[in-house]
Amino acid sequence: MSRQILTVEAVEKHYKTVKAVDRISFSVDEGEIFALLGPNGAGKSTMVRMMMRIIAPDAGRIRYDLGVPEDALLSRLGYLPEDRGLYQDMAILPTIVYFGVLRGMTRADAKREARLWLEKMDLVDRAGERLDSLSKGNQQKIQFIASVLHRPRFAILDEPFSGLDPINQNLMIEVLQELRAQGTTVLLSAHQMELVESIADRLFLMNRGKQVLYGTMAELRERVGVGTNIKIGFRGMADLAAFECHPAVDLVSRPEEGRLELMLRPEAALGAFLEFACGALDIVTLESREMSLHGIYLRAVKLAEEGDPRGEGSTTTAVQELEVGVG
Ligand SMILES: Nc1ncnc2c1ncn2[C@@H]1O[C@H](COP(=O)(O)OP(=O)(O)OP(=O)(O)O)[C@@H](O)[C@H]1O
């Protein structure tokens, strides 16, 4: 079993009337990318601030096992805060170096590493410019560099994808995978499900301060019992009722003329179902894939509405908020 470098136990945090974090427990394994996921207001940043010891929990415990005493923790952690707060009138390279030195690097090491990172993040030609000459997305990349320059054992990144265009989101994914390959453990908070799904080893999905789902993608699929997603393009007529009644089928929709979308039951045999579909329709196109994280989340919410314990902790409002969050 991998070593757990962070353990969160029954943590709670209230703000006046809001229960921002409600008895949350999870652990992060050394070397993994762990994602804290949820819609706006889910409690992710509150959780991250408690992990960084910026605010204290009302109840519960947050423990690190990083081989250093509590007062030396910061040298092992990298932190990208949600509120981006760099000095706008400072030049880029000295800003990054300043943060490196603050975390124990020599000035020479910090300078060398900063140049390498600026190259990696496509910003090396801007090194001498002031921060406020950069776009928001590029400022975000500088703040990210500042948070990982000292090669932390554990990088805690609050919304690392926010403000980045698709090309830079991909660059961020590559960089995070590189960090993992070099042995850095990463915890990131986000609400972009597709991005997170592509890199996270394990996920903790929360809403309104509470746990919705927790585990690997395979574990989440098993937990909520989702089967394969099928999209069929066909010519001519379709007997929708025959699909609705089919024992392998959980959900059917016809988004437009000539198209069917189905979710099979987890235990359904794909081959037998496809044989049936080929007999029932003049199929032109066929797409079959495992349920996405977004689909899993929606399924968890549906189960919760039906009072099924597999979807416990989720609500209808969560779906609406998530749709907004995913944009
Ligand atoms: N300082 C504060 N005072 C009062 N309420 C707060 C404070 N900080 C957060 N909250 C409330 O706590 C809840 C959780 O907020 P938090 O910022 O942790 O969520 P989040 O998941 O990070 O959301 P987002 O994705 O929008 O950043 C929200 O209802 C928020 O309004």
Q: pLDDT tens digits, the chain, 327 residues: what are they?
A: 688 999 999 999 999 889 999 999 999 999 999 999 988 888 999 999 999 999 999 999 999 999 888 888 888 999 999 876 777 778 899 999 999 999 889 999 999 999 999 999 999 988 888 888 888 899 999 999 999 999 999 999 999 998 899 999 999 999 999 999 999 999 999 988 889 998 999 999 988 899 989 999 888 888 887 788 899 999 998 888 899 999 999 888 888 899 999 988 888 888 999 999 999 999 999 998 888 888 787 777 667 667 776 665 444 444 444 433 332
pLDDT of residue 326: 31
The residue to mutate among 16, 45, 324, having the most atoms of ligand 1 within 8 angstroms of its beta carbon, is: 45
Query: What pLDDT sits at residue 315?
Result: 43
Could you tell me the CA-to-CA distances from 6 to 38, 69, 318 in Å, in that order?
20, 14, 27
What residue owns the CA closest to ligand 1's atom 26?
A: 40
**Which pLDDT does position 171 carry in this prediction?**
95
Q: How far is CA 95 from the centre of its chain?
A: 28
- Evaluate: CB of 168 within 6 angstroms of ligand 1: no
Residue nearest to atom 27 of ligand 1 (CA): 40
Say what the pLDDT of residue 97 is: 95
Find the helix or strand (DSSP H, E) in which 110 lies: helix 107-120
State the pLDDT at residue 305. Answer: 66
pLDDT at 160: 94
- 318 ligand 1 Cβ < 6 A: no
Q: How far is the CA of 50 from the centre of ligand 1 (A)?
A: 12
Q: Ligand 1 pocket, 226 CB below 6 A?
A: no
- Nearest atom (ligand 1) to Cα of 16: 4
Please give the distance, rounded to the nearest whole angstrom, from the Cα atom of residue 54 to the centre of ligand 1. 14
Return the pLDDT at 119.
95
Structure tokens at 17: 């009337």
In angstroms, what is the span from residue 74 Cα to ligand 1's centroid?
A: 24
- pLDDT for the residue numbered 299: 74
Residues 6 or more apart in contact with residue 65 via CB below 8 angstroms = 3, 4, 5, 6, 7
pLDDT for 303: 72
Mutational pocket test of ligand 1: of 12, 15, 22, the residue with most ligand atoms within 8 Å of the beta carbon = 15
* pLDDT computed for residue 79 by the predictor: 94
Q: State the distance from the centre of ligand 1 to the C-alpha of 326, rounded, in angstroms.
A: 17
List % helix, strand, coil for the chain (3-state, nearest 5).
40, 30, 30
pLDDT for position 116: 95
pLDDT at 253: 86
| Closest atom of ligand 1 relative to the 47 alpha carbon | 18
Question: Does the beta carbon of 270 lie inside 6 Å of ligand 1?
Answer: no
Kindly give the distance from the C-alpha atom of residue 115 to the centroid of ligand 1, in angstroms, as a whole number. Answer: 35
Residue with the nearest Cα to atom 28 of ligand 1? 41
49 lines ligand 1 (CB under 6 A): no
From the number of C-beta atoms within 10 Å of its C-beta (0-12, 13-18, 19+), residue 24 rates as buried
Amino acid identity for residue 236 in this structure? G
